[in-house]
Amino acid sequence: MKALVYQGPNKKALEERPMPEIAQPTDAIVKILKTTICGTDLHILKGDVPTCAPGRILGHEGVGVIEKVGAAVTAFHQGDHVIVSCISACGKCDYCRRGMYSHCVNGGWILGNKIDGTQAEYVRIPFADTSLYHIPAGADEEALVMLSDILPTGFECGVLNGKVEPGSSVAIVGSGPIGLAALLTAQFYSPGEIIMIDLDDNRLDIAKRFGATAIINNKDGKAVETVMKLTGGRGVDTAIEAVGVPASFITCEDIVAPGGIIANVGVHGVKVDLHLEHLWDRNIAITTRLVDTVTTPMLLKTVVSHKLEPAQLITHRFKLDRIMDAYETFGDAAKTHALKVVIEA
């Protein structure tokens, strides 16, 4: 089968690989129908993710059809259409029993990281019963690719941890796919204001279309000043960091209102200064999280009922044999205006 393989920092190739096989009775083999590329894959390719060794098939998102199941799998059968979750969960360890699947001691984020991933014709999914989701008949399967990672990530790490409430004020720093996923799902709670901050006018225009009440291009470095003006000098109740660089986290520190929350979503590769000399008396909270995907069943219902329309995030489509072009398009988003690129296997 064809698979996109990480070959070490800045090296990847579409290779011919053997079909994956059932290794444990709890495994399933899924034939991938559609997959996508995540910002995290670009982090891996930069060499930022030491757990991911050269030779690994990348990808932790996708939808597909069950090809084969191990003897202990009871919830899925050959031919079932499924969403692959970016988090594999054994369902039995202490963390899983607490709903913190991201820290499952037998799984967690292993797909396309510590085990071969979804950017291939077939993938082996461990703990299939608790790591796959049934796709209801008639659902738009392409839209459901957004449920593998970005929608639960934006929602759980940004909106839920940030405690977005009716009438509250929210700022989202970063208008990429994850920031936009937080923007879409924040609207479940009818916040009064959602301010999007980015450096790219195209992404900000999309944010406006997706429901942002204000957009700020921080090219001039005046985003903090503008947020303060928009909020009568208070700042925002929820500041969501959706980039993963020091400057954007510090923007969140500067715009959080007394009593507010900074909800970090971004993947940080270097240290960030925490200005406690300004924040110590402001009754704020800072949260971090790796997505648990506990909200995937709920989000699936909102997509099926068209309350949430994640297909809007898809800008480009490629066949698997052109996945190298897909990476180029996704990696050069400023020029190509790419958000999510869907790859058809």
Indicate the residue among 42 and 93 with the shorter CB distance to Zn ion: 93
CA atoms within 13 A on the CB side of 35: 34
The residues, any chain, with a CB within 8 Å of residue 224's CB and separated by 6 or more, are 251, 254, 255
Indicate the residue among 104 and 230 with the shorter CB distance to Zn ion: 104
Indicate the residue among 151 and 284 with the shorter CB distance to Zn ion: 151
Indicate the residue among 93 and 199 with the shorter CB distance to Zn ion: 93
In the complex, the smallest distance separating the C-beta of residue 107 from Zn ion, rounded to whole angstroms, is 6
Residue closest to 177 by CA, chosen among 208, 157, 206: 206
Indicate the residue among 97 and 209 with the shorter CB distance to Zn ion: 97
Q: Are strands 314-319 and 285-287 parallel, antiparallel or unpaired?
A: unpaired
Q: Looking at 7-15, 95-103, 174-182, 317-325, which segment touches Zn ion (CB under 5 A)?
A: 95-103
Q: Looking at 148-156, 282-290, 304-312, 329-337, which segment touches Zn ion (CB under 5 A)?
A: 148-156
Q: How far apart are CA 6 and CA 52, in angstroms?
A: 8
How many residues in the shown chain lie near Zn ion by CB under 5 A?
Answer: 7
Out of 29, 33, 73, 96, name the contact with Zn ion by CB under 5 A.
Answer: 96
Q: How far apart are CA 177 and CA 241, in angstroms?
A: 13
In the complex, the smallest distance separating the C-beta of residue 89 from Zn ion, rounded to whole angstroms, is 5
Contact 129, 75 (CB under 8 A): yes
The residues, any chain, with a CB within 8 Å of residue 63's CB and separated by 6 or more, are 32, 33, 34, 81, 82, 83, 84, 135, 141, 142, 144, 145, 148
Indicate the residue among 90 and 261 with the shorter CB distance to Zn ion: 90
In the complex, the smallest distance separating the C-beta of residue 254 from Zn ion, rounded to whole angstroms, is 28
In the complex, the smallest distance separating the C-beta of residue 127 from Zn ion, rounded to whole angstroms, is 8
- Does position 104 interact with Zn ion (CB under 5 A)? The reply is yes
- Does position 119 interact with Zn ion (CB under 5 A)? The reply is no
- Other Cβ atoms within 10 Å of 65 Cβ, number: 15
The residues, any chain, with a CB within 8 Å of residue 223's CB and separated by 6 or more, are 173, 197, 216, 251, 255
- Does position 296 interact with Zn ion (CB under 5 A)? The reply is no
Out of 26, 40, 118, 187, name the contact with Zn ion by CB under 5 A.
Answer: 40
Indicate the residue among 216 and 340 with the shorter CB distance to Zn ion: 340
- Does position 93 interact with Zn ion (CB under 5 A)? The reply is yes
Tell me which residue has tokens 């225009």.
Answer: 205
Contact 204, 179 (CB under 8 A): no
Segment (H or E) for 216: strand 214-217
Contact 60, 32 (CB under 8 A): no
Out of 29, 38, 82, 186, name the contact with Zn ion by CB under 5 A.
Answer: 38
Binding mask 63-92 for Zn ion (x = CB under 5 A): ---------------------------x--
Q: How far apart are CA 299 and CA 152, in angstroms?
A: 7
Indicate the residue among 110 and 172 with the shorter CB distance to Zn ion: 110
Q: Looking at 19-27, 101-109, 250-258, 296-304, which segment touches Zn ion (CB under 5 A)?
A: 101-109
Q: Which residues bind Zn ion (CB under 5 A)?
A: 38, 40, 90, 93, 96, 104, 149
